[in-house]
Structure 1
Amino acid sequence: MARSVTQQRKAFNTAAAWAVGLLIFFPILWTILTSFKTEAQAINDPPLFFFFDWTLENYAVVQERSNYMLFLWNSIAIAGGSTLLGIIVAIPAAWSMAFVPSAKTKDILLWMLSTKMLPAVGVLYPIYLIFIRLGILDTRTGLIVVLMLCNLPIIVWMLYTYFKEIPGEILEAARMDGATLKEEILYVLTPMAVPGIASTLLLNVILAWNEAFWTLNLTAAKAAPLTAFIASYSSPEGLFYAKLSAASTMAIAPILILGWFSQKQLVRGLTFGAVK
């Protein structure tokens, strides 16, 4: 029998959810508001919230100083390329772990996840030398490979979880009908796990888009994404908060828009298999 929920309980849960949501969103809102202030208003004490002289001067300065579209294209290529490459590698790996019985599966998954615990700076020097030797320093190709490897454990873990919710009998029926391994993965398994794959894609695009450590250390100018675009507004002369906020707003706007329009798909994918 389902437990009834009172109106007071619903109102409390709604208010609590809004409070948490506003608390999380406030830094983003403050960054957006600061981007429309002058430098003097940005450091005003007490802080100015809505009542200030709104201006687009910071965006004009940022556009004149930096080639925003180049940074944007680099971010799209790196985030999208690393995610797609990770999916191509992770789907067969997650399939084998989910549908090929092995006593070592959990150990392998835990080992893969443990690689995320290693501080990135611990492997920066060897990777930097490898990039120099291969001639891929400050290239989108190099960053795509690095970010794919960084996020691969998360991609495999998420896909493994979704694949485990798919009945193995369906794949066995496909094999009995003559499906090859490639056809089984492409035409049977993948369409059934579309919500999970979509949420995995979205989450890893966000992770790759926000990655700063590798992008700042392995790029200079040619392949620098939006994280380097933001960092360029931190200068030895000091922080220009209004211009830094304008650059940050321009950097996060595409991913905010993507998250807003794909939120239903993201929630559906993240809860896929949670309710039986």
Structure 2
Amino acid sequence: MARAVPLPRKALTTALAWTIGVLMFFPILWIGILAFRTEVDAIRPPLQVLAAPWTTESFAAVQQRSNYLRHFTNSVVIALGSTAIALLVAIPAAWSMAFVPSRRTKNVLLWMLSTKMLPPVGVLIPIYLIFRDAGLLDTRTGLVIVLTLINLPIVVWMLYTYFREIPAEILEAARMDGATLRSELLFVLLPMAVPGIASTVLLNVILAWNEAFWTLNLSAARAAPLTAFIASYSSPEGLFYAKLSAASIMAIAPILLIGWVSQRQLVRGLTFGAVK
């Protein structure tokens, strides 16, 4: 039987949650306000910014100066491509570590996680030289490869956690009924892990969409995604706050919409196996 929560404690918890949520969302809200101001109004004190008239001239200027559709297409291809390849590699790997016990499983998982602790700048030069010699600089293929390798440890870890929550007896029963390894993966394991796989896909897409370090250093014009699109409004001449805010809103709007629409599936996947 659930224990009743006192009303004052519930009100305090709710107020604290709303306060944290507002503080976390405030930078995005302020960027949205600056995006609908002129460059002159955007650098005024906050109260004067709020009182300034609304305008869409920054969005029009961004559209005229940059090819938004090309950057958007590059981001979609890179995010979805790297996610698809990561899943093709991570699903068999996570299945093997979850259902084929080995004393080295934990060591392998820790080793994979340790690769995320390496500062990216530490391997920038060798990767840049490899990409230059292989003809992968400023290509979607090159960015898909590097983002797949970067996010693969997280994908494997998440899928391994979800697969561990599935009873091994179900897979054993499928084998006894004559299921092949391919059938076991496609028709037994994957349908049961759909919430976990969906949340993994969403998280990986968000990480790939927001990746700035590698996309800025390994792309120039042809394969530049939306992160490079935003960075183009920070120049030696200065910061164009209104245009930079407009470009930022145009870049984050698609991923915000995806996150809003799929928030229930994302929460369900991230809590998969937490409630018995």
* Match in the other structure for 1:181: 181
1:7-26 to 2 correspondences below 5 Å: 7-26=7-26
* Match in the other structure for 1:232: 232
Deviations 1:153-181 (A, max 9, x none): 00000000000000000000111111111
* Match in the other structure for 1:200: 200
Contact 2:71 2:229 survives alignment (8 Å): yes
RMSD: 0.9
Aligned mates of 2:105, 2:148 — CA distance in 1: 21
Over the matched positions of the two proteins, sequence identity in percent amounts to 72
Q: Do structure 1's residue 155 and structure 2's residue 155 form an aligned pair? A: yes
Deviations 1:53-72 (A, max 9, x none): 10000000000000000000
* Match in the other structure for 2:48: 48
Aligned mates of 2:46, 2:159 — CA distance in 1: 49
Aligned mates of 2:112, 2:124 — CA distance in 1: 19
Q: Which aligned runs of 4 or more in structure 1 are off by greater than 3 angstroms?
A: 46-50
Q: Counterpart of 1:146 in 2: which secondary structure?
A: helix
Contact 2:41 2:49 survives alignment (8 Å): no
Alpha carbons of 1:24 and 1:46: their partners in 2 closer, same or farther (altered >3 Å)?
closer
Offset of residue 4 of structure 1: 1.2
* Match in the other structure for 1:91: 91
1:93-242 to 2 correspondences below 5 Å: 93-242=93-242
Contact 2:42 2:49 survives alignment (8 Å): no
**Matched AA of 1:236:** P
Aligned mates of 1:48, 1:237 — CA distance in 2: 25
Aligned mates of 2:154, 2:44 — CA distance in 1: 42
Q: Do structure 1's residue 58 and structure 2's residue 53 form an aligned pair? A: no
**Matched AA of 2:119:** P
* Match in the other structure for 2:69: 69
Q: Counterpart of 1:50 in 2: which secondary structure?
A: helix
Task: Provide the TM-score with structure 1 as the length reference.
Answer: 0.98
Offset of residue 33 of structure 1: 0.4
Aligned mates of 1:48, 1:261 — CA distance in 2: 34
Offset of residue 182 of structure 1: 1.1
Contact 2:138 2:224 survives alignment (8 Å): yes
1:24-43 to 2 correspondences below 5 Å: 24-43=24-43
Aligned mates of 2:81, 2:96 — CA distance in 1: 24
Offset of residue 49 of structure 1: 5.0
Aligned mates of 2:47, 2:266 — CA distance in 1: 35
* Match in the other structure for 1:273: 273
Offset of residue 47 of structure 1: 4.3
Aligned residues: 276
Q: Counterpart of 2:141 in 1: which secondary structure?
A: helix
**Matched AA of 2:148:** M
Offset of residue 41 of structure 1: 1.0
